[in-house]
Chains A and B, each alone.
Chain A
Amino acid sequence: GDSVTQMEGPVTLSEEAFLTINCTYTATGYPSLFWYVQYPGEGLQLLLKATKADDKGSNKGFEATYRKETTSFHLEKGSVQVSDSAVYFCAPRGRDSSYKLIFGSGTRLLVRP
């Protein structure tokens, strides 16, 4: 079935630093790919998505590009803010998982002033 691997956290950055959170997936065919964000004590919110190869999802300054050749969907942001501190989940959704989202373990980001 589908699976996903995220870089382990916590990731600690200073404000205005560049962020990369790595995500690689295993799936047959063309899964859609999602990034979700979870702020402390809350549910998950959809951050961005991409549904086919070479698509770039973007939202709130975050970006991720669907790289089928490397089966990756790395999350990036050019300049992080303290308010970006949260847990980030990568999740493919494809045929092999009966179209259920498969969540990674999550990566905690801590941004310091």
Chain B
Amino acid sequence: DGGITQSPKYLFRKEGQNVTLSCEQNLNHDAMYWYRQDPGQGLRLIYYSQIVNDFQKGDIAEGYSVSREKKESFPLTVTSAQKNPTAFYLCASSTGQGTPYGYTFGSGTRLTVV
């Protein structure tokens, strides 16, 4: 079955370390997105990519970086510059540019700074 896979499900990081969250999809979707969700809060867009080798900053890109070298993959690196990285991170993908299409979400990665 097609889907979107995020790994790991739980991740612990020491302060000052970079960490990379994986997101892979086999849906042949062109667009991919990264969101951050804090407890009891909505979703905030970090980065998105509408095509391979291209990506744009979202609303809260500072302290994060991404790459899109393959259509299937959109990894997110949380750098040491991110002051408060503990959160639930969600990856999503979507086909086409048109409005009738929704997003497919992964199951998320919960990052905790220790």
Q: Which A positions have Cβ atoms within 8 angstroms of B? A: 30-32, 34, 36, 41-46, 49, 51, 89, 91, 93-95, 99-101, 103-106, 108
A32 close to B48 (CB less than 8 A): no
Contacts of B40 in A (CB 8 A): 108
Contact of B42 among A31, A43, A104 (CB under 8 A): A104
Nearest CB on A from B23, distance (A): 11
Q: How many residues does chain B have at the interface if contact means C-beta atoms less than 8 Å apart?
A: 24
Contacts of B103 in A (CB 8 A): 44, 46, 101
> How many A-B Cβ pairs are below 8 Å?
58
Contact of B45 among A89, A93, A100 (CB under 8 A): A100
A31 close to B99 (CB less than 8 A): yes
Interface of B is mostly: loop
Contacts of A43 in B (CB 8 A): 6, 90, 105-108
Q: Which B positions have Cβ atoms within 8 angstroms of A? A: 6, 33, 40-43, 45, 48, 90, 92, 94, 97-108, 110
Query: A94 and B99 in contact (CB under 8 A), knowing A43-B90, A43-B108?
Result: yes
A26 to B45, CA, bound (A): 19
Nearest CB on A from B77, distance (A): 20
A42 to B107, CA, bound (A): 5
B98 close to A99 (CB less than 8 A): yes
Other 8 A-B pairs with CB < 8 A, given A32-B102, A101-B102: A32-B101, A43-B6, A43-B105, A44-B92, A45-B105, A93-B101, A106-B41, A108-B40
Query: A93 and B102 in contact (CB under 8 A), knowing A99-B97, A105-B42?
Result: yes
